A and B are shown apart, each in its own frame.
Chain A
């Protein structure tokens, strides 16, 4: 198991670091900081509260550390999250800044934070096959990104040229100029750009045999995937759904299901294991 743990600790106010390090180095999945309440550590099997109380200054410290004091380079804040060095995701909750047209442009005052630990488990995608398009399904926090990361690495090691559109910088994050998780010898990573735009760029410029993206959420993502699939490349992607039936029910995914562009689905279980099913109409 790999994890940029020091980068995670660096996000935290110094007064919390030691306790979080002692309790969560191996087990921590999320740390939740809520203003005026004690920090909650969500561990693999249970959760614990620390004795401290979260102050506004603590929340500001985390947000500034995650954005590197640079709100201008963190466009994702408007979508409610920041990707911190090391690939850890910081979910933001509080009073949002909303423009006259209703669009959210950022968070004015943060009241709660959810700091999810990014961990890499090399080898967990063993047995998922070496060819074809694969869709990974799972609930939030079930390990879709972790499984996709290993699948990409395996394809890359087996000889595929894989182009990854990593909009949130969580699949293959970098810290201090080095890869936190090895992406594989034939992997090219586009970071920061939107999925649809990134897919087009990847196919046009890198000539991949396989493209990968994390979390299909919009119709635009589906259309871009379809276009990529029709170009003859294999697709690796993840989607929020707890089963194949759940996927079929969701209208946003209908074009993908009907086109039968994915041959296999990997469905994540609550215990983080997965099972493979063939995709049928």
Chain B
């Protein structure tokens, strides 16, 4: 009897944990997108007023940010400095591949941003940054729609699914 109870508790905990992890991933995605917007704002200001070269710009941006987004910019700065690839887009792809913790939407937007880096004059580059910023905002807006309800659902559904499974097995 004790074994069955223990098993049921484990099932509820596992399913509940899955629900909570979905909610945490949602929060991580939001946080990464917010960080990315901050980084893009910083880059646009630096470019507009100081025309900072790209490797230096990415290094400075990485110092302004925390978490995986900052780490991607740091890795990108290193790759640009050592010219590991002929183009900035390929350097960005390498930097993204080396940072598996970065949430998917932020990764996609940074990949697209990489395709615009170092290819255009100042107005073109600022436009590229602005495009990435708009994508971030759109994603953030979609994530924040019914945010509280959705997060609660992930957690509750996880726990309920666990409880249902446990009852079935008992």
Contact = CB atoms under 8 A, between A and B. Distances in A.
Contacts of A71: 118-121, 125
B86 A68 contact: no
A69 B118 contact: yes
Contact of A72 (B47, B55, B56, B88): B47
A18 interface: no
Nearest to B119: A71
Contacts of B120: 71-72
Contact of A64 (B47, B56, B118, B125): B118
B52 interface: yes
A64 B117 CA distance: 11
A64 B47 CA distance: 17
Contacts of B86: 13, 57-58, 60-61, 64
Interface string B84-127: 00111000000000000000000000000000011111100100
A23 B79 CA distance: 28
Q: Which secondary structure dominates chain A's binding surface?
A: helix
Contact of A68 (B47, B55, B87, B119): B55
A68 B54 contact: yes
B83 A72 contact: no
Interface string A55-71: 00110110011011111
Interface residues of A, number: 17
Given A68-B55, A72-B51, A60 B118 contact: no
Interface string B49-90: 001111111000000000000000000000010010011100
B118 A73 contact: no
Contacts of B51: 70, 72-73
Interface in A40-80: 57-58, 60-61, 64-65, 67-73
A60 B87 CA distance: 7
Interface of A: 10, 13, 57-58, 60-61, 64-65, 67-73, 105-106
5 contacts: A64-B83, A64-B86, A70-B57, A71-B121, A72-B47
